[in-house]
A and B are shown apart, each in its own frame.
Chain A
């Protein structure tokens, strides 16, 4: 046979190749001769190169204004709208691919400088105009320039500041005034505190945990038996052990895990909640005039911590399925599926103030205005209150005791004194504990 065979039917000549390739496709490497490959063009992310935030109108430095929600010029009042999109919890998440470190974009979109605090070791990303600054973590002025950490993942989303810097002072003043166990002149001492707005890095994690548990569960049973020594039937309770098992499926969505080591985890937790529905796509303009910190806790370390928390929640859910307080040989398997992460920036105001020779830290949620921080405890006040609480009981009981020795019938008064003392002591212990916690916070 060969070429003289009947030629096969042919199909209509296709449109030119250029027309057949979908719009937006770009040519990529082909691993086979004779075949070209086109793929969708990588989505151009709206991350401008180094940007200087200067007012085109008057040339003055511009900054993000929380009240206007845009970049404003404090000199001429010009307002420049930021074209970012509110994505909320729908913001893109990433899988834990093995090459996540290589594939994740790096660097910051605007010219920023990482400053290294030699006092506390914090790395702070600051606007290019700031060559040195007061460290918001320790209040130290000994800050020196340092090159940026190379493996910083770029945050994709952030929550912009909603609280203005000026409003912080009032919020903190109200917070300092709250409570009686603090020094009266605390507000005056903290008046000089400088509030520094900073975007702190947080990781969010989502996952589905399928947990299967198995345990021996004991149920109390009653049984009747014959007591030979007393020659009669009696009942007693015994525990009947049986193997039981169950399953729990728990979805976790946007579990927050801090990415900074310079504010304690409890303090950051007291700042919560942040409304993640306000997440917007990252735009360097939001950072104009504000500080931002690169993450210090790596993705893996943060995920380990978040996973540990999730598995404990799953364990509690398994425990809840067991309707008995008698449990032994409990074991469970928690399988994680659909794990995803993202790096976000959350707005925070940091300030430090000095009182009686010691430095205290105050943190303000830049979105809600919630304040958390350390306050010195006025122990003199606390001990006076404690004394006032226990003294009535001691006095009443003491007088009753003396009168009793003088052969008066004061038994009732003595009991009353003892009762008052006990109640006062309990309240005093609670107060001391509260004061201790407040002092350690």
Chain B
């Protein structure tokens, strides 16, 4: 990544093949889009169309690609499940429409390899069993129940560490944490992707001609499968906006967490706390990895596109759920009109009942129905408003 710009651009051109760089003026994200794709909407913000630019700021092609692995049926089922609880869905919010809008987007992430040399100190917790008892008296005598209780004994440990850590995830995007959570991570530091299924990147992938290569045998990442799906075919590729230097802090934090677990294992402990690692890191190696996602959208009441993201490997769906207030209001108005009609008819029957008592009973029944409809009329709007309010709170 520190090669001169000219050399890098040649390399980049060769690597990316038939894709051209593009930029979103709204969110300032850079992409590589297939040459035949024209000027698609920015899959990041969905608020502007991508504009071609001469070259990317990023200075290295990816080495690995995690292929898409979600079948159409799974995708359909997941989308259907995701939108099931949305009341008064906007017209464009249905599985068929969402699938029609699906765009394949690869997002970048770094994998760092580094050797750590240093010393560590920690409090290690060792589980041990203690025999305890519970005595019960029920009038006829005592009954003793033996219990085994697990307790933790904390002891100080220290030592030296000389280990190589491979495939440590590190963000390549400023939005990394938000995207990882949106794609199904419970902790943004642990990407919700099985990176062991990554395949080597080839420039031909960008042409839509799929080629599978064997990855570096030294790597812990498994060799690619020959049945991997159409790697980059028609996908937009998001360019990194975080340099490895900046990502190193996250990678180092991750390495320290792994080292803490390793030291715990080495000590034969089951818990650790107050872990301190004083280490130097050598033999750095960065790998740019592309993670598969789908981006689709639906149109909100205000005409804006609301994004829905799908993890291209697990099929996890996330996005802002919006009920259509317009549809809800139409329901409210409809029920209100019916209420007015029944009320008027009730008056008519009531007046008729002055002359003929037979009209009084249906009039009373209609009055009750009118009352119930009057109560129900505002419900759709209220329900949709409440749903949107709750989902805004959880966005």
Contact = CB atoms under 8 A, between A and B. Distances in A.
Contacts of A14: 118-119, 278-280
22 contacts: A3-B284, A4-B1, A5-B1, A5-B244, A7-B284, A14-B280, A30-B267, A31-B265, A32-B265, A35-B161, A35-B163, A37-B158, A37-B266, A37-B267, A95-B130, A97-B129, A98-B129, A98-B130, A98-B131, A311-B135, A311-B142, A334-B134
A237 interface: no
A307 B132 CA distance: 11
Contact of B278 (A11, A30, A330, A335): A11
A25 B156 CA distance: 9
Nearest to A11: B280
A203 B112 CA distance: 59
B8 to A, nearest CB: 10
Interface string A89-128: 0000001111100000000000000000000000000000
A9 B245 contact: yes
A34 B161 contact: yes
How many interface residues does chain A have, given as a range?
A: 35 or more
B285 A5 contact: yes
A331 B160 contact: no
Interface in B86-141: 110, 112, 114, 118-119, 121, 128-139
B64 to A, nearest CB: 10
B119 A1 contact: no
Contacts of B334: none
B281 A20 contact: no
A2 B285 contact: yes
A102 B283 CA distance: 47
Contacts of B215: none
Interface string A179-194: 0000000000000000
Contact of A22 (B132, B137, B156, B281): B156
B254 interface: no
A10 B263 contact: no
A13 interface: yes
Nearest to A329: B139
Closest 5 CB pairs of A and B: A20-B119, A32-B266, A5-B286, A8-B248, A34-B163
B243 A6 contact: yes
Contact of B132 (A4, A5, A32, A337): A337
A332 B142 CA distance: 9
Interface in B137-165: 137-139, 142, 144, 148, 151, 155-163
Given A8-B252, A11-B278, A332-B137, A40 B155 contact: yes
A308 interface: yes
Given A8-B281, A35-B163, A330-B137, A1 B262 contact: no
B159 A30 contact: yes
A164 interface: no
A333 interface: yes
Contacts of A96: 130-132
B135 A8 contact: no
A4 B251 CA distance: 17
A342 interface: no
Given A1-B244, A2-B287, A6-B245, A308 B142 contact: yes
Contacts of A274: none
A8 B115 CA distance: 11
A169 B370 CA distance: 110
A332 B243 CA distance: 67
Interface string B240-264: 0001110010011000000000110
A391 B163 CA distance: 101
Interface in B180-214: none
Nearest to B129: A98
Interface of A: 1-14, 17, 20-22, 25, 29-40, 95-99, 307-308, 311, 315, 329-337, 339
Contacts of B268: 29, 31
Given A6-B244, A17-B160, A31-B268, 9 more contacts: A1-B1, A1-B110, A6-B1, A6-B243, A25-B156, A32-B266, A37-B158, A331-B138, A339-B132
B51 interface: no
Contacts of A336: 132-135
A35 B245 contact: no
Contacts of A29: 268
B394 interface: no
Contacts of A337: 132
A335 B134 contact: yes
Nearest to A37: B159
B379 to A, nearest CB: 48
Contacts of A311: 135, 137, 142
Contacts of B13: none
Contacts of A39: 155-157, 267
A21 B3 contact: no
B2 interface: yes
Contacts of B118: 14
Contacts of A13: 280
A35 B119 CA distance: 9
A337 B285 CA distance: 53
Nearest to A29: B268
A35 B114 contact: no
B342 to A, nearest CB: 57
B159 A35 contact: yes
A99 B288 CA distance: 51
Nearest to A314: B135
B255 to A, nearest CB: 10
Contact of B266 (A7, A21, A30, A315): A30
Contacts of B155: 39-40
A5 B59 CA distance: 10
Contacts of B161: 34-36
A332 B136 contact: yes
A29 B285 CA distance: 31
Given A21-B158, A35-B160, A39-B157, A4 B2 contact: yes
Contacts of A40: 155-156
Interface string B263-296: 1011110000000001111111111100000000
A20 B285 CA distance: 28
A336 B129 CA distance: 15
Nearest to A328: B139
Nearest to B151: A95
A1 B216 CA distance: 13
A309 to B, nearest CB: 12
A35 B122 CA distance: 13
B166 interface: no
Contacts of B262: 32, 34-35
A31 B126 CA distance: 14
Nearest to A8: B248
B60 interface: yes
B63 interface: yes
A36 B158 CA distance: 8
A331 to B, nearest CB: 5
A35 B112 CA distance: 21
A25 B263 CA distance: 16
Given A1-B288, A5-B244, A334 B135 contact: yes
Nearest to B287: A1
Nearest to A32: B266
Nearest to A333: B136
Nearest to A304: B144
B198 to A, nearest CB: 14
Nearest to B140: A331
A407 B222 CA distance: 128
